[in-house]
Amino acid sequence: METRQPLVQSPNGAVELSNEEIARYSRHLIMPEVALDGQKKLKSARVLTIGAGGLGAPLAMYLAAAGVGTLGIVDFDVVDESNLQRQIIHGTSDVGRPKMESARDRINDINPNVHVEAYEDALSSENALEIFRDFDVIVDGTDNFPTRYLVNDASVLTGKPNVYGSIFRFEGQASVFWAEEGPCYRCLYPEPPPPGLVPSCAEGGVLGILPGAIGTIQATETVKLILGIGEPLIGRLLLYDALGMSFREMKLRKDPNCPVCGENPTVTELIDYQEFCGIPQANVQAVEDEVPEISVKELKDRLDNGDGVSVLDVREPHEYEVANIGARLIPLNELPERLAELDKDAPLAVHCKTGGRSARAVKLLQEAGFQNAFNVEGGITAWSEEIDPSVPKY
């Protein structure tokens, strides 16, 4: 097994293991690649995980079990029922609690020797550098492009390795971006995709087991970096296909023209990442604001009054099977070819799950001459919450 320079140097007696810890980590201690010295390095290590969600759950639990002494967690969300299918650090009784609280409780139960440092704020350009400086490894468990670029740039500027993972539906990716030894995230993805082109997990779904596979790979890479053993995923992108149960690997090269880690960097401080990714904070709901909207209560009143309004559902058929309100179904990607099925002059209320796709549909309809189409604010989720609780939320 190849030996690398460990991120955490030997504590030289400054850190000791109790008898309880020796018993707990016995299966590590009998491995020559870890042994007593390696376990002390793990205890001395400080690892920051960004997010306590799908990826953050397994990696935080396994890093705690492995004996990483300090785990920093950045998360300001609360536990929702839809999280429980994959975010195994939280349980049913945690619904409604801050994720930070339930994550801390679970980690303390797994290993009370681990110190949890909680950051219950959104990671931002204002706080990232200050937070990152005190940690040895940064592990990216985020699910959006602005935060991924923020994590990358802050890692480069502070000289920290960034253990990357991403998931969508049945596929996952993992790598280690460390500018001191190889490429960074921007070397792989110089520019973010146009807003709305890549659906989120909330829109496209994710197999609940998938983040377990990728999260444990991230945890493995983190431990290898701390101990200085094996061959980390520096300069390599691991691609996992759960349906085909296959792994592929792409070689990555450092881009000499990379704006943050290249030979002449132009990004020398953190920027506005919402703006960089084409979604300025002031215009996050720009598409929705451009089209007329109707609340679910207004829609219910108009339907009850029989004023001739029609309802169009632009979700996918498998979503319609889960929950629907009896509306006509034309998926958004089929709408341009099926406009002739709709009456241009009749009032048309368009809905999806939460209002994003339906807003794009209304804009498309307006451009095609439908002047009486409007977006249902909050979609079928709002209908379930405010009108008819018997309609399932998903």
Q: Which residues are catalytic?
A: 201, 352
What are the tokens at 394? 């998903």
- Between CA 195 and CA 217 the distance in angstroms is 29
What are the tokens at 129? 């550098």
CA distance readout (Å), 200 to 195, 281, 352: 11, 18, 15
Locate all alpha helices (DSSP H) within the chain, ordered by sequence. Answer: 19-24, 26-29, 35-44, 56-66, 99-110, 128-132, 145-158, 185-188, 201-204, 210-227, 273-276, 286-290, 296-305, 317-322, 356-367, 379-386
Check if the beta carbon of residue 294 is closer than 8 Å to that of residue 377. Answer: yes
Burial class (CB in 10 A: 0-12, 13-18, 19+), 295: middle
